[in-house]
């Protein structure tokens, strides 16, 4: 816990209450209201947690006004360009960049845990053949608690470590299997001679009838997408994982809860929704019509891939993702793709429009990731599962951090009750 820096004073009906304040490494100071109810008998009201720090953390820092994202202090653009996903996983999990020997050991460990229990294949087969891969992932990851009993004791540090590695290692296999099942193709087993991203591409695109050659530029782009989605502080799905875990739930159940939350179109589902929107717009001449709809208070339509709860500036991940998109599209020779034309023009028009400028709505990471994934050959239904597999390390790191925190309490928000006051039951005949 941080040092107390100063005290805030709250006065209610002439009574004053002193509230401790803490200074973070960076970012706004925090007022400690934990004892407020006990002392003053009042709750605070903050739907959507726009002003509430639910925990302290040393993993990720975001300055939304400046467009800064740091993992353990390292800027995301440096990590995306100079590091790679498994090294970033190590950094998030253990707090420091690994030595060469530590990295090799970690990569070997992850690589050796990529297969899933053979009996789990039956779970996949129980889903409708056209199930959305996210639906399958929520179910299968939750079902891991029925298979890996030796890593569900959250009070055993070794078991926590084993569960973390299993989740990070097996998630690409599960996501690829969910995809293969949804298109009626046989499952492809992981291969230990391939790196994390190449292995995933091969498990998605290889078929027994034909070997799949992994293009190193596409593997690099895939790895970068994983890196850019690895963690993002206390977002909705991470907070879901922490809340689920606060009751002592097992790690597989907690991560399944995170996947379920990520699925929503306001969160991880935005990449799928964004590409579908770009396709619906179809041609640049229809952009003004959609911009007007996004600005219309009476129309629920929003520009998907625009806006962010925390970033009130360019999403720093979006900048790197945009560069990656250019690289991949050039490699695949699809620079004139109509969806891309619409995306570029939409970005230009929206950034020049006073509505978006005033509300500080900039393209977020999902605006560009969908374009890359589409060019790579993934259907839109796979966009969010790819986000989920990449975010697993973030969820796991935050889950581990929470369990090691001596201040851990079950998450139990309060409410502002506006329902009926106490009243007597009325018999049905007299209502």
| Active-site residue set | 308, 366
CB nearer ligand ACO, residue 117 or residue 309: 309
**Whose structure tokens read 């159940």?**
253
What single-letter DSSP state applies at residue 210?
A: B
20 Ramachandran zone, left/alpha/beta (phi>0; psi -120 to 50): beta
Name residues whose C-beta falls within 8 Å of residue 320's C-beta, 6 or more positions apart in sequence.
Answer: 76, 77, 80, 81, 224, 228
Q: What would you report as the CA-atom Rg of the chain, rounded to the nearest whole angstrom?
A: 23
Verify binding: residue 154, ligand ACO, rule CB under 6 A.
no
Residue 135 CA to residue 33 CA, distance in Å, equals 38
CB nearer ligand ACO, residue 366 or residue 374: 366
What single-letter DSSP state applies at residue 233?
A: S
Verify binding: residue 302, ligand ACO, rule CB under 6 A.
yes
Verify binding: residue 307, ligand ACO, rule CB under 6 A.
yes
Question: How near is the Cβ of 271 to ligand ACO at its closest, in Å?
Answer: 8
Question: How near is the Cβ of 412 to ligand ACO at its closest, in Å?
Answer: 23
Question: How near is the Cβ of 49 to ligand ACO at its closest, in Å?
Answer: 11
59, 281, 304, 390: residue in contact with ligand ACO (rule CB under 6 A): 304
The answer to whether 186 and 207 have CB atoms below 8 angstroms apart is yes
Question: How near is the Cβ of 146 to ligand ACO at its closest, in Å?
Answer: 30
CB nearer ligand ACO, residue 361 or residue 375: 361
Question: Within 10 Å of residue 38's Cβ, how many Cβ atoms?
Answer: 7
Of 28, 22, 25, nearest to 65 (Cα)?
Answer: 28
139, 172, 251, 305: residue in contact with ligand ACO (rule CB under 6 A): 305
CB nearer ligand ACO, residue 62 or residue 135: 62
Q: DSSP letter string over 374-397?
A: HHHT--GGGHHHHHHHHHHHHHHH
Verify binding: residue 270, ligand ACO, rule CB under 6 A.
yes
Verify binding: residue 294, ligand ACO, rule CB under 6 A.
yes
CB nearer ligand ACO, residue 137 or residue 303: 303
Question: How near is the Cβ of 366 to ligand ACO at its closest, in Å?
Answer: 5
From residue 348 to residue 367, the character string flagging contacts with ligand ACO as x (rule: CB under 6 A) and all else as - is -----------x-x--xxx-
CB nearer ligand ACO, residue 158 or residue 359: 359
Task: Give how far the C-alpha of residue 146 lies from the chain's centroid of Cα atoms, to the nearest Å.
Answer: 24
Of 224, 259, 237, nearest to 368 (Cα)?
Answer: 224
Question: How near is the Cβ of 17 to ligand ACO at its closest, in Å?
Answer: 30
Question: How near is the Cβ of 305 to ligand ACO at its closest, in Å?
Answer: 5
Packing angle between helix 338-352 and helix 365-376, nearest 10 degrees?
A: 170
In the region spanning residues 248 to 267, those forming contacts with ligand ACO, defined by CB under 6 A, are 266-267
The answer to whether 364 and 311 have CB atoms below 8 angstroms apart is yes
Q: Which residue is nearest to ligand ACO (CB)?
A: 307
Q: How many amino acids of this chain bind ligand ACO (CB under 6 A)?
A: 18
β-sheet bridge partners, residue 411 = none
CB nearer ligand ACO, residue 214 or residue 365: 365
SS3 268: coil
Maximum Cα–Cα distance across the chain: 79
SS3 412: coil
85, 181, 196, 306: residue in contact with ligand ACO (rule CB under 6 A): 306
Verify binding: residue 312, ligand ACO, rule CB under 6 A.
no
The answer to whether 90 and 98 have CB atoms below 8 angstroms apart is yes
Residues of this chain that bind ligand ACO (CB under 6 A): 266-268, 270, 294, 302-309, 359, 361, 364-366
């Amino acid at each position: 816990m941080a040092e107390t820096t100063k005290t805030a004073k709250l006065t209610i009906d002439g009574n004053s209450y002193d509230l401790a304040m803490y200074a973070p490494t960076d970012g706004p100071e925090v007022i400690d209201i934990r004892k407020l109810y006990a002392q003053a008998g009042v709750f605070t009201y903050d739907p959507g947690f726009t002003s509430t720090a639910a925990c302290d953390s040393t993993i990720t820092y975001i300055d939304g006004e400046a467009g800064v994202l740091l993992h353990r202090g390292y800027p995301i653009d440096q990590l995306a360009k100079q590091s790679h996903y498994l090294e970033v996983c190590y950094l998030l999990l253990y707090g420091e960049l690994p030595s060469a020997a530590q990295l090799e050991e970690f990569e070997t460990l992850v690589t050796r845990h990529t297969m899933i229990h053979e009996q789990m294949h039956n779970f996949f087969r129980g889903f409708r053949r056209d199930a959305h891969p996210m639906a399958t992932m929520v179910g299968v990851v939750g079902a891991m608690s029925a298979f890996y009993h030796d890593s569900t004791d959250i009070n055993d540090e070794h078991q926590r470590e084993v569960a973390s590695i299993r989740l990070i290692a097996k998630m690409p296999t599960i996501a690829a299997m969910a995809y293969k099942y949804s298109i009626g193709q046989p499952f492809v087993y992981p291969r230990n001679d391939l790196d994390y991203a190449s292995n995933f591409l091969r498990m998605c695109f290889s078929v027994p009838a034909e070997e799949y050659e992994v293009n190193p530029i596409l593997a690099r782009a895939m790895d970068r997408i994983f890196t850019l989605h690895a963690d993002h502080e206390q977002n909705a799905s991470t907070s879901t994982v922490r809340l689920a875990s606060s009751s002592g739930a097992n790690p597989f159940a907690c991560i399944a809860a995170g996947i379920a939350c990520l699925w929503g179109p306001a969160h991880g589902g935005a990449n799928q929704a964004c590409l579908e929107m770009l396709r619906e717009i179809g041609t640049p001449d229809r952009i003004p019509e959609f911009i007007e709809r996004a600005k219309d208070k009476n129309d629920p339509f929003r520009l998907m891939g625009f806006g962010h709860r925390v970033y009130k500036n360019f999403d720093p991940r979006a900048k790197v993702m945009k560069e990656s998109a250019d690289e991949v599209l050039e490699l695949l020779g699809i620079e004139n793709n109509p969806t891309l034309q619409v995306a570029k023009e939409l970005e230009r028009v929206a950034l020049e429009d006073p509505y978006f400028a005033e509300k500080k709505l900039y393209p977020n990471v999902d605006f560009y990731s969908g374009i890359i994934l589409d060019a790579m050959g993934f259907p839109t239904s796979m966009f969010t599962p790819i986000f989920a597999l990449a975010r697993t390390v973030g969820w796991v790191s935050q889950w581990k951090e929470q369990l090691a925190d001596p201040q851990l309490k079950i998450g139990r928000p309060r409410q502002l009750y506006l329902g009926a006051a106490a009243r007597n039951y009325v018999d049905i005949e007299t209502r």
